[in-house]
């Protein structure tokens, strides 16, 4: 395995439904699963590493959902319909170019403190 390129977390069908229409979230999740499979992003031999996906309950954004958080960039997209998730996967995850107009939050990792 060549490591992990990205981890995608989708608040698709949250328990408290604070994050958009759960029917849209469920459809977006189905599309994401299909895309990851069809594009071979789960292939452990993929030179750029695998793309992991997780259906999360709540990502603490709770508006403009369904929301999709992508690590390691810490970029959260809002209004993630099946059509949007297709563009996000193709342009951001595969192409490396985030779609600025759909980004609702950026939460980069903090830098580790030096030892001592
Ligand atoms: S319910 Fe979706 S981020 Fe909280």
pLDDT digits (tens, 9 = 90+) for 44-73: 999 999 999 999 999 999 999 999 999 999
Contact call for residues 50 and 5 (beta carbons, < 8 A): yes
Domain-located, residue 53: yes
Range of the domain at 85: 4-106
Burial 17-50 (b: 16+ CB within 10 A, else e): eebbebebbbbbbebbeebbeeeebeeeebeeeb
Ligand 1 mean position, distance from CA 74 (Å): 16
Ligand 1 mean position, distance from CA 110 (Å): 23
54: which strand partners? Answer: 9
Cα(40)–Cα(111) distance, integer angstroms: 32
Confidence of residue 114 (pLDDT cuts 50, 70, 90): confident
pLDDT higher than threshold 80 for residue 116 = no
The confidence score (pLDDT) of residue 109 equals 85
Domain-located, residue 116: no
CATH of the domain at 12: 3.40.30.10
Domain-located, residue 60: yes
pLDDT digits (tens, 9 = 90+) for 73-100: 999 999 999 999 999 999 999 999 999 9
Among 9, 13, 17, 19, which residue has the most ligand 1 atoms within 8 Å of its CB, making it the best to mutate? 19
Domain-located, residue 115: no
Q: Give the ligand 1 atom nearest the CA of 14.
A: 1
**Average pLDDT along the chain:** 94
Cα(68)–Cα(75) distance, integer angstroms: 8
Domain-located, residue 50: yes
DSSP three-state, residue 94: helix
* Dihedral sign for Cα atoms in the order 93, 71, 62, 77: negative
Domain-located, residue 17: yes
Over residues 10-32, mean pLDDT = 92
Count: domains in the chain: 1
């Amino acid at each position: 395995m060549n490591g992990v390129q990205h981890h995608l977390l989708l608040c698709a069908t949250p328990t408290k439904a604070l994050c958009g229409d759960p029917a849209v979230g469920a459809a977006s999740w189905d599309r994401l699963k299909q895309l990851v499979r069809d594009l071979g992003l789960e292939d452990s031999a993929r030179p750029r590493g695998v793309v992991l996906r997780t259906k999360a309950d709540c990502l603490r954004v709770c508006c403009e959902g369904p929301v999709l958080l992508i690590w390691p960039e810490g970029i959260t997209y809002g209004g993630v319909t099946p059509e949007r998730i297709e563009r996000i996967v193709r342009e951001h995850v595969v192409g490396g170019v985030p779609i600025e107009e759909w980004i609702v939050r950026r939460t980069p990792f903090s830098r580790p403190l030096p030892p001592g």
